[in-house]
Structure 1
Amino acid sequence: MKHLANPDLHTILPADEWQGTPFGKRGFQNIEHPFWPSFNDLLKWKLGKNPQKDEKKSDKLLPQVIASPSFLTTNENMVVWLGHATFFIRINGVSIITDPIFGKLPLIGRLSPFPFDPNLLKGIDYILLSHDHRDHCDKASLKLVSKLNPKAKVLTGLVLETLLKEWVVKNVEPAGWHQQYKTEGVEVFYLPTRHWARREFNDTNLSLWGAFVIRGGGKTIYFGGDSGYGSHFKQVGQLFPDIDVSILGCGAYSPRWFMEPVHMSPEDAVTAFNETRAKTMLPMHYGTFDLSDEPYGEPVRILNRLKTDGIINGELQLPAIGQAVVF
């Protein structure tokens, strides 16, 4: 087992606690739950029956879309959901976009449109790319936002810079888990998640996946990327005890026997939120692409029930796509 890091970046944990990101014979691996995708399991899911098929077909609850980019001209600290895992974040005057994807996925339509012309996304300082999956790492979208913002730096995981530079996205800084990027105006850290990576059939887990903490001007945001539930959420709350907003996935979780290792259910996401000890929970990864078996509106219905039951230890925000959440 190797332990990898970017030698040019600071590691936030002491050497006796953290040797680096684990890299074994088959590539990078999760700390607690090593994962390798099974083609047989994929076939079993795709060829099997969805017990919620009829409910999903009749479920028309999708996020509202506010088609106004007026937030781009303000200076407030804010988080704006742009669909799936794409967020515009402004913190301490620094503008950030996460996992940009403006259009459709290959063979998969888009349920909720991008809220405005992405050519308006100028003035971006940093592009945060959690991992290489196509619903988070989109070639056309990354090339566009990089062209519109030639000085913007892409912050991502180890090895993914190789692919991005092939796409003519040159200003890339990769990090291992528990490393801090070289940034101005904000501090940005790359942290573990429970997930995996693959673009092609022969590159499984050869690039790193992760989450981000963004801190500046007395405010802190956790962007959880893609992740199954694990003890890393509790660690985030311990390392960063004053998180204002935790952005957590709560979609693409059904069937659980297939999705549980890599995607959280709404119940998992609430547990993770409580363990990060953040003030506000902002869900993502639902209502944009049809990636799984659950009905489109089920994540929101479950989250609202958990809120009513008093299980969420903080504020739950369920904004429209394109709606600014000021913090």
Structure 2
Amino acid sequence: MTEQTERSRPGPDRSARGPVVGARPLGEVRSWPRSFADRLTAPLPGVRGMTRLARERGMRPNAEGLRGVHRLPYAPEPLPEVTDGSLAVTWAGHASWIVRIGGLTVLTDPVWSRRILGTPARVTPVGVRWEELPKVDAVVISHNHYDHLDAPTLRRLPRDTPLFVPAGLGRWCRRRRFTCVTELDWWERAELDGVRFDFVPSHHWSKRTLTDTCRSLWGGWMLDDGQGRRVYFAGDTGYGHWFEEIGRRYPGIDLALLPIGAYEPRWWLSDVHTDPEEAVQAYEDLGARAMAPMHWATFVLSAEPVLEPLARLRTAWQRAGHPRADLWDLPVGGSRVLGH
């Protein structure tokens, strides 16, 4: 079997798995399988793929592609005022959002560090200074890659901060003395002060060391305030059938936070990172009211020109005929409020 055939072979179809009834207890310590490799949508690249990537040296933009670094959108502003019935989001950069929902302040994949392992320093500063954050009521983590799970940032938090993490990642958090760590499998949920945290599938994988490939799960989060407000945080994902399934199970999504960057070369990254056109298709599959792009303009992780993701997204959005007002293409540090 060729490498291309191996990479295109679909993983197991788990769309028939029903949602778990009821919320899991906060801080529950659970046992998990040793590996979640059976959840992969496509097999991970093998030796030939790694060899080709090294030969092509195709994981960074060329000089022309880097020339737009100084024009990346960065416009920090004070956090907006919110009322109990409002949903507000602020993009701190990459996949880090400050989501204010149901009276809670929730951080998604918080990375406030200037550098992460194996990657050049961030090309835009963090959009919100740590000292300017309101009290953090909860943190959601999509998976354990270094650009989404940043130990130095988590160390800034009080150890009693509730963490919502994928199955298998609880031990890592508890070793760092966090006392309220809730691990969830796909389609499971937990609740905190009336806000629901549902863990949903994504087309991705996990790895943090040489020996822990797929030892913890990966996914996105659906936040629901219980009063009709829903925001979907996709984390890191390729395009595939899960978006339609998530939209079916969670109708009426107000806002989808979707990744648009780190997609070239496609032969290497298509299984695990959406490109801008696929992000628009994912938005349509979800049936969301609005979309906010992320996972670009912060770290140089792949070969596409640094300004290309947003340009392609806007073009695809216009071609699809979606209302311009429903594309929340915020600068790093920008905010939007969705009222009643």
Give the TM-score normalised by structure 2: 0.83
Provide the residue aligned with 2:164 in structure 1: 155
Look up the equivalent residue of 2:164 and give its one-letter code: L
Provide the residue aligned with 2:25 in structure 1: none
Moved over 6 A (4+): none
Provide, for residues 244-285 of structure 1, a one-character-per-residue CA deviation record: whole Å limited to 9, x for no partner. Answer: 001111110000000011111011111111000001011110
- Which residue of 291, 309, 333 corresponds with 1:322? 333
- Which residue of 269, 273, 293 corresponds with 2:303? 293
CA gap of 1:29–1:298, structure 2 versus 1, over 3 A, is same
- Contact residue 105 and residue 134 of structure 1 kept, 8 A: yes
Stretch deviating more after TM superposition (52-61 or 166-175): 52-61
Extract unaligned runs of 5+ from structure 1.
1-9, 14-22
Following TM superposition, by how much is the alpha carbon of 1:41 offset from its aligned partner in structure 2, in angstroms?
Answer: 2.1
Provide the residue aligned with 1:33 in structure 2: 41
CA–CA distance in 2 between the matches of 1:173 and 1:207? 13
Percent of residue pairs identical: 28
Extract unaligned runs of 5+ from structure 2.
1-18, 23-31
CA–CA distance in 1 between the matches of 2:20 and 2:231? 19
Count of aligned positions: 304
- Which residue of 96, 113, 120 corresponds with 2:125? 113
Provide the residue aligned with 1:7 in structure 2: none
- Contact residue 280 and residue 317 of structure 2 kept, 8 A: no
Secondary structure at the counterpart of residue 87 of structure 1? strand
Q: Does residue 102 of the first structure (1) align with residue 112 of the second (2)?
A: yes
Secondary structure at the counterpart of residue 309 of structure 1? helix
Q: Does residue 284 of the first structure (1) align with residue 287 of the second (2)?
A: no
Secondary structure at the counterpart of residue 281 of structure 1? strand
CA–CA distance in 2 between the matches of 1:12 and 1:297? 44
Provide the residue aligned with 1:44 in structure 2: 52
CA gap of 1:70–1:54, structure 2 versus 1, over 3 A, is closer
CA RMSD of aligned residues (A): 2.3
Look up the equivalent residue of 2:41 and give its one-letter code: H
Provide the residue aligned with 2:268 in structure 1: 258
Provide, for residues 136-173 of structure 1, a one-character-per-residue CA deviation record: whole Å limited to 9, x for no partner. Answer: 000010111x22xx542100111101111122222210
CA gap of 1:277–1:69, structure 2 versus 1, over 3 A, is same
Q: Does residue 166 of the first structure (1) align with residue 175 of the second (2)?
A: yes
CA–CA distance in 2 between the matches of 1:239 and 1:36? 28
Provide, for residues 27-72 of structure 1, a one-character-per-residue CA deviation record: whole Å limited to 9, x for no partner. Answer: 213647243343542342233154962431333365432333433x
Equivalences for 1:30-109 in 2 at 5 Å? 31=39, 33-50=41-58, 53-60=62-69, 62-71=71-80, 74-75=82-83, 76-103=86-113, 104-107=115-118, 108-109=120-121
